[in-house]
A = this chain, B = another copy of it.
Amino acid sequence: MFGKRYSGLLTDLYELTMAAGYVGTDGAAGFTEARATFELFMRSLPARRNFLVAAGLEQALDFLGNVRFSGEEIAYLRGLPLFRNVSPRFFDYLAQFRFTGDAWALPEGSIFFAEEPLLRIRAPIAEGQLVETSLLSILHFQTLIASKAARLFSAAAGRPVIEFGSRRAHGSEAGVLAARAAFIGGCAGTSNALAGHDFGVPAYGTQAHSWIMAHEDEAEAFRSFAELFPQDAVLLADTYDVRAAVEKIIALGRAPRGIRLDSGDILGDSMWVRRRLDRAGWTGVQVLASGDLDEDHIAALLHAGACVDAFGVGTSLVTSADAPHLNVIYKLAEIERGGKARGVAKLSEAKKTYPGRKQVFRFRDAEGRFCGDIIGLEDEEFAGAEPLLAPVLRGGRRVDTAAEGSAAIVCAARERFLLNREHLPKRLLSLEPLQQAFPVRHSERLEALFDQVRRTFVQSASI
């Protein structure tokens, strides 16, 4: 079911009613020419996430570059009673719709924190509004999964983690994109063949219980498979009885690449299997563990001395099961009309947002470690700090015109994550919530701008 379709209807209907308002009611309102700045960020982090890993930008830019409304889709909208009073000019606008704005973003693989824009859009207001829903869903999902993968990477302490979750991802597309995001977040590969094909993520996998069950004799199932895949067979030992299965494998007399344990007492079985393999002289045969694992199980297994060389992790990773969503939002931060820019903000304390076009500035300590971020205005400068948001679209076109393949982009993102991770204060790598979060604050100019917007609102309200 998964494929590319950049329909303009991939949006909440209210983006279309608001766009109709902006495009179809000009004259007095004068919104046709208005440019708006929208920022996409996380209001807060889940309790058990000390940092997030940016992912999904390529798919977001692909969407912005290709989103269109077909004639047939426009006819659907025209037929909705809701749009009965809307001017035909709006439907002409949709027929010619292209995203023509500018965009800045955190490169994929960047480590970031709450309130830091992952993406900033500056575009005619209707355009910025129409792309909201898709930008959120694309960036939210891959960032969610890359950030979960980063926890598994920490838990596995140097052992490879392979993403195995396509079957329980939220649909076919989610499976493929979860594989991409998990790789960026440190996984060594995926079981998803299409993610291997489309994004160059290393694809792994050999046999399931059904292979064993289809044969009347388990030993025969192992033998025929090892013959077909002499260098790569990872044989599944837990269909009936792990120890009996391992004896049958050893009796074949040909060392497989590995043995997989998918259920039962992984700790005890892995120690037994390791000893038995070593006794057979098969010290190079790996033990792979899978079956409803997550970062806590992995950390506990390794702490208890499990003899596992690699982990396969499915459901908990591709659904980010302990935190299946992030508190992601896309907020209007500034509007420019008639040559005048006005910062805008949500004032309610629970959902407060800051006005203005923002940049994230990252500071390092003497050892080069990240030591704090300031969210400031785009044109601010802080000595020694690196601005993290980079331009990615200008006038709707990609800034980087180099034709990098998707595999190269994904590899670069993974390397960026691993490098960012090395520079993170070690305490952030804990799987548990921190007493003290990574220090992120807003700049003084940003705080002043917020106060100014609030004063203006209070004044106009009291008139």
- Which residues does A use to contact B, with CB under 8 Å? 1-7, 9-18, 20-22, 24-25, 29, 31, 34, 36, 38, 59, 62-63, 73, 76-77, 80-82, 84-86, 125, 129, 132-134, 136-138, 140-141, 144, 164, 166-178, 191-194, 196-197, 203-211, 213-214, 216-217, 224-225, 227-232, 238-241, 244, 263-264, 315, 319-321, 324-326, 328, 330-332, 335, 342, 344-348, 350-351, 457, 460-461
Contacts and interface: CB of A to CB of B under 8 A. Distances in A.
B208 A21 contact: no
B170 A141 contact: yes
A209 to B, nearest CB: 6
Contact of A10 (B82, B133, B194): B194
Given A1-B63, A348-B240, A168 B140 contact: yes
B4 A192 contact: no
Contact of A191 (B13, B38, B167, B176): B13
Contacts of A205: 12-17
Contact of A177 (B9, B77, B171): B171
Given A134-B172, A207-B18, A319 B315 contact: no
B193 A166 contact: no
Number of copies of this chain that the complex holds: 2
Contacts of A264: 348, 350
A13 B164 CA distance: 10
Given A77-B193, A348-B264, A319 B328 contact: no
Contacts of A335: 213-214
A192 to B, nearest CB: 7
A62 to B, nearest CB: 7
B174 A174 contact: yes
Contacts of A11: 166, 192-194
Given A229-B82, A264-B348, A137 B166 contact: yes
Given A141-B170, A166-B137, A1 B12 contact: no
Given A1-B138, A25-B224, A76-B197, 5 more contacts: A10-B192, A25-B227, A34-B214, A82-B206, A125-B214
A204 B346 contact: no
A24 B363 CA distance: 58
Contact of A129 (B63, B210, B241, B348): B210
A170 B80 CA distance: 27
A225 B230 CA distance: 68
Contacts of A176: 10
Contact of A73 (B164, B191, B197): B197
A263 B351 CA distance: 8
